Chains A and B, each alone.
Chain A
């Protein structure tokens, strides 16, 4: 066996992950995925070890709920054949390895910088020097948008090549939000600093990223969570999903100039985030989730209050959705706009909600369930057209599904357990944690050294996979449809840039 098979939230000694030659590593990992479309790359990264770079690849199998790990040691001056030439879904992982360590790939089709990390291998070039693809043509023109956009949103640069109003090509350049988070995880030594870092990776996915971090940490410490701790995380993840999906429906309505939908969905987000604040003191659940403890036990009084909030919310939510989905002027903007084909989605390795709108049942809540998801028997909502319409529709369905899950959860409140001492991370371990945030699959990997200190921390937001899907979706669309396409994905800049 050239690989090691583990489950979500399991840790294993790094030394047990088979270390094989680069060629065997390439054949193994690409081969595993070619054989089986139910597998995808959950994470692939490198870190410096004894003057060389240790590469670890994690292939998740959605059908048998397992994760296959393999590793390899590469020199920074080596020239390697790329995984990407065989499977495009590795393109960004390899670009990241190239950018961080200078490893050169001989046959990578698009070996460009990912985020201009401050600790990149080639610091001669800055973010202003990004090598955009361009076409020398008198008929075509380029449109540059950003990094600062028209709305109150995060920065990123979009470069379009257009034929009149029609988009032929879009290249998305990110990195403006780079805060050096992965390095900060190694520099900070107190646990409360690490938790705070995790909840500031992407503020709209506070519950998602913090849950991924605490799972990885608890796994390193060998800590077994109690039901009340798992309950809080599951509930927070589902509330976050409802809040953001509702906000996204509002934003999509804004982009098609549908004022009523924009206002009503916009205001419907408020009772959900306000409930979050009533429960834990912060509208975005910052401060709620911490390793090994249940800081804000969920009481019967809170359950009654939440049930009341959801009853009122659901009535208004259904009424507004009925109106939106009956409105020809809205539907004509959604249908067949920004299509991602199932073939493209599979080949570039799209995850989460974006994958589920292309007919792929990819959902960590079902494939690698954590917290209380095993008992919720979650079945993903799947749509098939891959257009804006599917991405709007899935939000409506997922919100309703989350309401059901929450009603299930709060009908059986867990007893609050005494806090148990968690201990420290054990030495020489590798831990992986997969969480289904509202956007999709979040993956955190941690590696500890001789003293149990973190020697590498790798964060992967679903946006890391999905930005490319947006670039493909807008091809051959009118440039005026770009905002609604973009919002229908609502990808994270800070989660990508780290």
Chain B
């Protein structure tokens, strides 16, 4: 008992007081800024392993980007990754960053279904489904629940049963072998329900896009309520995304 108290005292307060303004130390590859500098566009296209870069105008699709930073390293005058971790959005097109723009990625509350704010604004229970995920986004989703990021303080939790859930969180590129279990799980969640994609693999297939072992037809059937990019998504990206979707931030 005495030792337990000692440990508690030594650990002190671990939680990040404000997860919406916390700063990340060192380098972090968050939202990129693309300058108007002229570079060899063919070389630029070649540097990207996942075809996230397009030209005329130069754009980076964060739904495809693996945040490896290769392009910024080769063309520092053209591309710079900032430490801005607020990358989540409910509009797929908002993930496409254009050259000459330095605008935050936002969640457009005008197109958020009205019941999401009213029903899930104070309590959101989610069922996570890993469908070919490489355990990195799963790891970061768990981290979002630890005592530091402490997502539970906002009433957002992961639950075991889809019957208790308000929506599903999908990680991974959705393999053929997980397509049916995913559908069964989604069907078991009561209405109204939401779908959230976490990580580049889930949003576009990432490096696995085009593999014959995938079956992404689930995503053709339903509309997605939130895209949380990253490889893996940072816990702060996840929490800010969920907060942005479910409550009207001042």
Contacts and interface: CB of A to CB of B under 8 A. Distances in A.
A263 B152 CA distance: 13
Contacts of A295: 73
Given A147-B181, A196-B50, A284-B136, A118 B212 contact: yes
A496 to B, nearest CB: 11
B196 interface: no
A206 interface: yes
Interface in A371-385: none
Interface in A327-356: none
Given A127-B177, A287-B29, A197 B207 contact: yes
A201 B123 CA distance: 35
B49 A316 contact: no
A214 to B, nearest CB: 14
Nearest to B50: A196
Given A152-B142, A154-B130, A286-B136, A281 B29 contact: yes
Interface in A104-149: 116-119, 126-128, 147-148
Contacts of B68: 192, 196, 286-287
Contacts of A195: 49
B214 interface: yes
Max chain B C-beta neighbours (<10 A), residue from A118, A147, A154, A203: A203
Contacts of B207: 184, 193, 196-197, 200
Interface in A186-239: 188, 190, 192-193, 195-197, 200-204, 206
Contact of A177 (B69, B141, B175): B175
Given A204-B135, A267-B11, A178 B175 contact: yes
B28 A281 contact: yes
B147 to A, nearest CB: 5
Given A203-B232, A266-B147, A494-B132, A190 B46 contact: yes
Contact of B211 (A175, A176, A180, A277): A180
A299 to B, nearest CB: 11
A287 B29 CA distance: 10
Given A277-B26, A282-B67, A267 B81 contact: no
Contact of B185 (A148, A183, A204): A148
Contact of A179 (B7, B14, B24, B214): B214
Nearest to A271: B148
Nearest to A205: B135
Interface residues of A, number: 68
B192 interface: no
A260 interface: yes
Contacts of B26: 277-279, 281
B198 to A, nearest CB: 10
Given A152-B128, A190-B46, A179 B211 contact: yes
A151 interface: yes
Nearest to B141: A152
Interface in A84-100: none
Contacts of B70: 192, 287
B28 to A, nearest CB: 6
A179 B173 contact: yes
Contacts, number: 197
B201 A183 contact: no
Interface in B2-21: 3-4, 6-8, 10-11, 14
B132 A323 contact: no
Nearest to B211: A180
Nearest to A320: B7
Contacts of A183: 211-213
A278 to B, nearest CB: 3
A176 B66 contact: no
A61 to B, nearest CB: 32
Max chain B C-beta neighbours (<10 A), residue from A118, A126, A204: A118
B102 interface: no
B132 A287 contact: no
Interface in B52-88: 66-70, 73, 81
A367 interface: no
A50 interface: no
Max chain A C-beta neighbours (<10 A), residue from B66, B134, B137, B147: B134
Interface string A272-289: 011001111111101100
B111 interface: no
B135 A202 contact: yes
A319 interface: yes
A414 to B, nearest CB: 20
Contacts of B145: 152
A280 B27 contact: yes
Contacts of B29: 281-282, 287
B140 interface: yes
Given A264-B11, A316-B10, A116 B134 contact: no
Given A176-B177, A179-B208, 19 more contacts: A118-B176, A148-B129, A152-B128, A155-B129, A155-B131, A178-B132, A179-B175, A181-B208, A183-B211, A193-B50, A195-B49, A196-B49, A206-B136, A266-B146, A277-B24, A286-B66, A286-B136, A287-B70, A295-B73
- 8 smallest beta-carbon distances between A and B, as pairs: A203-B136, A278-B26, A180-B213, A150-B160, A203-B134, A118-B213, A281-B27, A193-B49
12 contacts: A119-B212, A148-B129, A153-B138, A154-B138, A176-B132, A178-B176, A184-B207, A267-B11, A277-B25, A277-B28, A280-B27, A319-B6
Interface of A: 116-119, 126-128, 147-148, 150-155, 175-181, 183-184, 188, 190, 192-193, 195-197, 200-204, 206, 247, 260, 263-264, 266-267, 269-270, 273-274, 277-284, 286-287, 295, 316, 319-320, 322-323, 326, 492-494, 497
